[in-house]
Amino acid sequence: MLTEDTPEGALETWTVDEVARALEAGEIALIDVRTPQEYMFEHIEGSLLMPMAFFRADRLPSQQGKRLVFHCGSGMRSEKVVRACLRAGIAPVAHMAGGFGAWKEAGRPYTGTDMATGAPVHVATRAAV
Q: Is the pLDDT of residue 127 over 70?
A: no
**Cβ contacts of 117 within 8 Å, gap of 6 or more:** none
Does a structural domain hold residue 128? no
DSSP 54: G
Cα–Cα distances (Å) from 7 to 26, 82, 83, in that order, read 30, 13, 10
Does a structural domain hold residue 93? yes
CA 115 – CA 98 distance, rounded (Å) = 25
**Domain assignment of residue 37, given as a range:** 2-123
Does a structural domain hold residue 129? no
Report pTM.
Answer: 0.90
8 Å CB contact between 2 and 97: yes
CA of residue 24 relative to chain centroid, distance: 13
Does a structural domain hold residue 99? yes
Q: Is the pLDDT of residue 129 over 90?
A: no
Does a structural domain hold residue 26? yes
8 Å CB contact between 47 and 129: no
Task: Give residue-wise pLDDT tens across range 30-54.
Answer: 999 999 999 999 999 999 999 999 9
CA 40 – CA 25 distance, rounded (Å) = 24
Domain CATH code at residue 69: 3.40.250.10
Q: Is the pLDDT of residue 92 over 80?
A: yes
The number of domains in the chain is: 1
Q: Is 51 helix (H, G, I), strand (E, B) or coil?
A: coil
